[in-house]
């Protein structure tokens, strides 16, 4: 017998009748949450009776799934003491009850909680609901929303859901946020009082809320739930769970598993680092009792958020000092040049980017927190080092998102005091005056090399109609590769770039003297280099062919036609088929990258 959901399908009469009806069968159970250490002996392990010392025929653990990347680690934090359920009430009315051990579904849990009168009264106390709602609202807007993720608020019952919704709406109204910022999803009942019926959803509306919740940028950002969506609902963008409902064993594990789904958004450079649970009950203060599993499994499931603070502190104390030693923190021309020179090596850059992004993510998760205060200066300086190096060596002219939201705000706040150079944002125009400008600059040679390369790339991108600038940008990239690989010295790289700019200036003067447009002159130069007879006349025919078919890059038909006319123009002067073919191929390859009319 192969039995799925083996932690509960063999419980009670079903299990008794099944095993009595098939007494000689071998029973193999599949479950993600085996019952262990319960009042009923060894729960799932007793029922399925594996002789293995560990109790498993085969196990794919949560730790393994985290290592494989199929799930994420979970971190938790306890709410302030005044909001937590008093220990004696939680123990007496929930944790110490034998019937709560191994509880396998929310319905069963709800029946137990119905009897916990003092516990529920405390959780739904008017003053406490207001405090928790404000704490949740502030925590979400400061800690979670800047990361781009969403949250669950898990209330003890449907009435508590309504209380929290009303409290949050009032708070968000004062902050000019719409009522749709949060939403309730629970199962309605025809006998519900008006206060609950107000929040009933029809099937279409609920489906839309679920759909919108999974999308970044769409409301709601916070879903208030008590039973529905705590199992089976898969929303990878869900990062935080505000837990205000006593849970344990399967119900707790299944609920917190909503936040451990991996999530990536390349457009926003988001990679979800882990899931987070903020406990307003106090369950996580007694985690080994709340989760009846092997202690090693518990440690793999959830960890105290304080561990991330220790990790941040350790990284700031061990990883950042060598980078901070490279600067005076004034970020003047000398600092910037030293950084560009030091990080010419790609492996050094790779290591800096890796370490910085790990530290930055920890900062984003922890912030805002008084714990970070002693590290603000060093972290901001480290962020500035990263910004200079990243901007210098990025492969694109217009730099994409460099920092996460909280870090960006920190850097912007301190930018004046730190004088962070936005290297290499000081672009220079690629013309004759550039040669003198570059030579007269106080910046070091490494900075000048990077600024020149960026300026050439920008000029080529902004003037796509000039094939000479595109070709110049390609030659500049070759110089950059040699510079970064240390095949050339900084002085040699600078000289090479200035020489290429000088050639381009000479070309512009010759083009002006002949009175030709950029395309015609470019073709003329190529035909001259390839030894095509009567190059000026041929170049005008070739340029005319391209002008007659302006959409040749997008249209295969136009491409074939313009290619035919260019080929015939060359054949009129040259009988060497191989030479004509080679020149035509080279022309189209070069012009594919340039000359956008």
Q: What is the pTM of this model?
A: 0.68
Mean pLDDT of the chain: 79
pLDDT tens sequence across 516-528: 676 777 787 778 8
448 and 501 assigned to the same domain:
yes
H helices of 367-403, where? 376-393
Whether the pLDDT of residue 421 is over 50: the answer is no
Give residue for tokens 């209380």.
163
State the total domains in the chain: 5
Specify whether 195 is located in the same domain as 277.
yes
CB atoms within 10 A of CB 264: 10
Q: Are 240 and 140 in contact (CB under 8 A)?
A: yes
Q: Distance between CA atoms of 532 and 555, rounded to whole angstroms?
A: 28
Q: Are residues 334 and 445 in the same domain?
A: no
Measure the CA–CA gap between 199 and 158, rounded to whole angstroms: 10
The enclosing H or E element of 138 equals helix 126-139
**In this structure, are 458 and 549 located in the same domain?**
no
Q: What is the pLDDT of residue 468?
A: 65
Q: What is the pLDDT, as a whole number, of residue 180?
A: 92
3-state secondary structure of 303: strand
Helix or strand (DSSP H, E) at 243: strand 238-243
Q: How far apart are CA 372 and CA 298, in angstroms?
A: 28
Q: Are residues 265 and 164 in the same domain?
A: yes
Q: Flag whether pLDDT at 364 surpasses 80.
A: yes
Domain boundary among 458, 490, 514: 514
Residue in the structure block whose two tokens are 């796509």: 464
Say if 458 falls within a structural domain. Answer: yes
For 30, the domain range is: 2-59
Specify if 238 maps to a domain.
yes
pLDDT for the residue numbered 416? 45
Q: State residue 511's pLDDT score.
A: 67
- Distance between CA atoms of residues 342 and 393, nearest Å: 12
Q: 210: pLDDT confidence band, cut at 50, 70 and 90?
A: very high
Closest C-alpha among 482, 587, 490 to residue 545: 587
Q: Residues with Cβ < 8 Å from 493, sequence gap 6 or more?
A: 449, 479, 480, 482, 483
Let me know whether 270 and 250 are in one domain.
yes
State residue 486's pLDDT score. Answer: 66
Confidence of residue 118 (pLDDT cuts 50, 70, 90): very high
270, 304, 338 - which closes a domain: 304
439 and 400 in a single domain? The answer is no
Contact 300, 59 (CB under 8 A): no
* Structural domain includes residue 423: no
Cβ contact 519:546 at 8 Å: yes
Model confidence band, residue 397 (pLDDT cutoffs 50, 70, 90): very low
- The dihedral over CA atoms of 291, 294, 297, 301, expressed in degrees to the nearest 10, equals 10
Identify the burial level of 174 via C-beta atoms within 10 angstroms of its C-beta, where 0-12 means exposed, 13-18 middle and 19 or more buried.
exposed
What is the tens place of the pLDDT at every residue in 54-83? 667 777 777 788 778 788 888 889 999 999
The answer to whether 146 touches 368, Cβ cutoff 8 Å, is: no
The DSSP secondary structure of 484-532, one letter per residue, reads HTTSS-HHHHHHHHHHHHHHHHHHHHHHHHHT--HHHHHHHHHHHHTT-
Residues 542 and 575 occupy one common structural domain: yes
In a domain, 366, yes or no: yes
Can you tell me the mean pLDDT for 256-273? Answer: 82
Are 81 and 128 in contact by the 8 Å Cβ rule? The answer is no
Q: Rounded to an integer, what distance in angstroms lies between the CA atom of residue 538 and that of residue 516?
A: 13
9, part of any domain = yes
Task: Assess whether pLDDT exceeds 90 at residue 289.
Answer: no
Question: Which range is least confidently modeled, 78-92, 337-351, 445-459?
Answer: 445-459
Same domain? For 130 and 270 the reply is: yes
Residue 541: pLDDT over 80: yes
Looking at the structure, do residues 244 and 102 belong to the same domain, yes or no? yes
pLDDT of residue 595: 46
State how far the Cα of 254 lies from the Cα of 71, in Å rounded to an integer: 13
Tell me, yes or no, whether 154 lies in a domain.
yes
Distance of alpha carbon 98 from alpha carbon 143, whole angstroms: 38
- Which CATH number belongs to the domain containing residue 277 in this structure? 3.40.50.300
Whether residue 425 is contained in a domain is answered as: no
Percent of the chain with pLDDT over 90: 24
CA distance 382 to 316: 9
Kindly state whether residues 100 and 211 are assigned to the same domain: yes
Of 353, 387, 418, the last residue of a domain is 418
Both 493 and 584 in one domain: the answer is no
Domain membership flag for residue 547: yes
């Amino acid at each position: 017998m192969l039995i799925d959901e083996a932690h509960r399908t063999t419980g009670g009469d079903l299990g008794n009748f099944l095993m009595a009806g098939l007494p000689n069968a071998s029973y193999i159970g599949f479950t993600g949450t085996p019952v262990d250490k319960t009042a009923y002996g060894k729960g799932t392990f007793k029922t399925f009776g594996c002789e293995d010392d560990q109790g498993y025929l085969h196990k794919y653990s949560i730790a393994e799934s985290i290592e494989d990347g199929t799930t994420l680690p979970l971190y938790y934090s306890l709410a302030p003491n005044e909001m937590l359920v008093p220990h004696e009430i939680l123990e007496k009315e929930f944790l110490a009850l034998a019937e709560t051990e191994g509880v396998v579904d929310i319905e069963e849990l709800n029946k137990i909680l119905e009897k916990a009168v003092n516990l529920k009264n405390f959780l739904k106390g008017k003053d406490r609901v207001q405090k928790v709602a404000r704490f949740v609202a502030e925590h979400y807007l400061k800690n979670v929303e800047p990361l781009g993720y969403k949250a669950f608020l898990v209330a003890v019952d449907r009435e508590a859901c309504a209380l929290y919704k009303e409290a949050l709406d009032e708070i968000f109204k004062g902050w000019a946020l719409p009522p749709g910022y949060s939403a309730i999803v629970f199962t309605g009942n025809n006998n519900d009082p008006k206060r609950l019926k107000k929040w009933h959803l029809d099937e279409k509306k609920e489906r839309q809320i679920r759909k919108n919740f999974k999308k970044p940028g769409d409301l709601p950002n916070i879903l208030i739930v008590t039973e529905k969506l705590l199992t089976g609902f898969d929303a990878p963008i869900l990062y935080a769970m505000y837990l205000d409902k006593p849970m344990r064993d399967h119900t707790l594990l299944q609920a917190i598993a909503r936040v451990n789904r991996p999530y990536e958004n390349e457009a926003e450079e988001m990679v979800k680092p882990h899931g987070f649970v903020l406990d307003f009950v106090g369950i996580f203060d007694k985690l080994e009792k709340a989760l009846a599993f092997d202690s090693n499994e518990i440690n793999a499931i959830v960890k105290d958020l304080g561990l991330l603070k220790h990790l941040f502190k350790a990284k700031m104390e061990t990883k950042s000092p060598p980078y901070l030693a490279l600067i005076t923190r004034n970020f003047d021309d000398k600092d910037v040049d030293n950084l560009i020179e030091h990080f010419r090596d790609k492996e050094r850059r790779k290591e800096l980017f890796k370490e910085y992004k790990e530290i930055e993510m920890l900062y984003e998760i922890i912030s805002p927190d008084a714990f970070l205060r002693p590290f603000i200066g060093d972290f901001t300086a480290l962020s500035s080092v990263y910004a200079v190096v990243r901007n210098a060596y990025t492969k694109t002219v217009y730099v994409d998102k460099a920092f996460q939201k909280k870090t960006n705000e920190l850097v912007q706040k301190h930018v004046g005091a730190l004088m962070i150079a936005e290297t290499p944002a000081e672009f220079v125009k690629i013309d004759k005056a550039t040669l003198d400008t570059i030579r007269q600059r106080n910046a070091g040679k490494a900075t000048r090399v990077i600024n020149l390369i960026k300026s050439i790339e920008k000029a080529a991108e902004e003037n796509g109609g000039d094939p000479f600038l595109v070709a110049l940008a390609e030659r500049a990239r070759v110089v950059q590769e040699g510079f970064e690989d240390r095949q050339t010295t900084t002085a040699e790289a600078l000289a090479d770039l200035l020489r290429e700019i000088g050639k381009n200036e000479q070309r512009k003067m010759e083009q002006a003297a002949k009175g030709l447009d950029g395309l015609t002159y470019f073709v003329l130069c190529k035909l001259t280099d390839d030894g095509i007879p009567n190059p000026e006349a041929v170049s005008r025919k070739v340029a005319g062919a391209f002008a007659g078919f302006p959409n040749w890059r997008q249209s295969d038909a136009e491409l074939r036609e313009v290619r035919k006319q260019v080929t015939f123009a060359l054949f009129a002067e040259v009988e060497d088929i191989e030479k004509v073919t080679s020149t035509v191929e080279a022309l189209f390859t070069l012009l594919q990258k340039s000359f956008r009319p």
